[in-house]
Amino acid sequence: MASLNIKKGDTVLIITGEDAGKKGKVLKVIPETQRVVVEGRNKVTKHRKPRNQRDSGGIVEQEASIHVSNVMVVCPKCGKATRTGIKLTGDKSKKVRVCKECGAEIPTADDTK
């Protein structure tokens, strides 16, 4: 299982498919199948069966996963869709992702807390 360059909380640009050219936030990363779920994109309809008397069934819209090769990370500094690289910090104890376009560090959701 390879590690992915896309992390939960990243803003990504969808480059192929029905939602091509649209941006969204990554809600979930599935490394086993190399897929991501993007907020508000790749919507599919599901027929939901009621599970009990009070539950109402019906047709529900939800986001489906997209393969990671069909999305690109958007750099928070330059705003462009970019490839990412890895750079060691000054004390060489921590790896950070960097934008290949402008060289800016791309923070993860863990870094922003």
pLDDT tens-digit profile of 87-106? Answer: 888 777 788 889 988 888 88
Question: Mean of the pLDDT values across residues 70-79?
Answer: 92
Token pair, residue 43, equals 């919507």
pLDDT tens-digit profile of 19-66? Answer: 999 999 999 999 999 999 999 999 999 999 999 988 888 999 999 999
| pLDDT at res. 10 | 92
Assign residue 72 the CATH number of its domain. 2.30.30.30
- Any domain includes 75: yes
Q: What's the number of domains the chain is made of?
A: 1
List of residues 6+ apart from 84 with CB closer than 8 A: 5, 73, 97, 98, 99, 100, 106
Domain range enclosing 68: 11-81
